[in-house]
Amino acid sequence: MSIKVMIVDDSAVMRQVMQELLSGYKDIDVIGTAMDPLLALQKMDRNWPDVIVLDVEMPRMDGITFLRQIMASRPTPVVICSTLTEKGADITLQALAAGAVEVIAKPTAGLRDFLQQSAHELVSAIRTAAQSRPRQGRQPAGGEPQQPGKLTADALLKAPSSLHNQRTTEKIVVLGTSTGGTQALETVLRELGITCPGIAIVQHMPERFTRSFAERLNTLCTIEVREARDGDRILPGLALIAPGGRHMLIKRSGAQYYVEVKDGPLVSRHRPSVDVLFRSAAIQAGSNALGMIMTGMGDDGARGLKEMFDAKARTYAQDEESCVVFGMPKEAIKLGGAEQIIALDAIPAVLMSWR
């Protein structure tokens, strides 16, 4: 059965090119296009889509207002197509907070060529959105396009052999998430106090969005939240979010932990990769680490969590009921990497009790 898609964008070129591209995929059916949300609502009343591809800045009604209206009345998966500027990133994060599922970067020039080159990313986002379970107040996030030639964490560091398992006074948390993760992270981090262990986070999100995302969380949380920089210490009361487009690894100096931020190939089809973060935690921290895998499409982080489990770390997976997409936790559970499966609202207490 095909995925019914509605395209809402004030650019006639964008609507035309996207419709032409998507028409080449048998599992996707563009049932309509609209230049603004009010016209879209008229068309959707007659034939409701499975996925909405939505611009943010439009006449008569902006995309965020439209999105909130949809999520309040009839939650429907939404893919945001937004320009990657500082202003665009802030606005798009508001859209994510309102319940959007995926984010696609829209350039300010060369639109036709860009879309033709990025057709796989757009189609992947639509397919991911169609499998999600959007709910009012939940905020899935966009990740990198999935690419052929899937690499493992071996591309950046060898599998665990010698482990730093001696007990230290410092404990750390490593957390990985993707689709559905931005709202889930907000739910968790807002409940943490300044005595919580230091946290290193990989959230699949496009480059230039992670800084705005971290800054937004920092205004909402008691703990400090910021985009990670190479060499940052992992400290109590601090959450470090891996920059979009770069990997983040755990390093150890004596009894202290810090992060290394580095370039590298896509691992498990992502950069940053949860598998890379988790493997580095298994090697460098072992039983001094707690790993948490949360809502997301695919299997990034599943093997890494199993490596943490084998290294005597504490390991958890978010349960299916509270996930927007159960893919990543499900794969970790199948591999035997999660010692416990817990609901989203139980995660803050687990993190606060990790000593």
Q: Which residues are catalytic?
A: 178, 204, 300
CA 74/CA 120 separation, integer angstroms: 28
SS3 label, residue 206: coil
SS3 label, residue 315: strand
CA 138/CA 95 separation, integer angstroms: 11
Instruction: Return the ∠ at Cα 275 (arms to 271 and 276), rounded to 5°.
Output: 65
Buried residues in 8-17 as b, exposed as e (16+ CB within 10 A):
bbbeeebbeb
CA 324/CA 165 separation, integer angstroms: 34
Backbone angles phi, psi at 282, to 5 degrees: -60, -45
Q: In sequence order, which ranges of the chain are alpha helices (DSSP H)?
A: 12-22, 37-46, 63-73, 86-98, 111-117, 119-130, 181-189, 209-220, 274-284, 302-310, 327-334, 347-352
Both tokens of residue 46?
A: 């007659």
Q: What does each C-alpha distance from 100 to 13, 141, 165, 177, 327 come to in angstroms? A: 23, 7, 41, 16, 18
**First-to-final CA distance of the chain:** 50
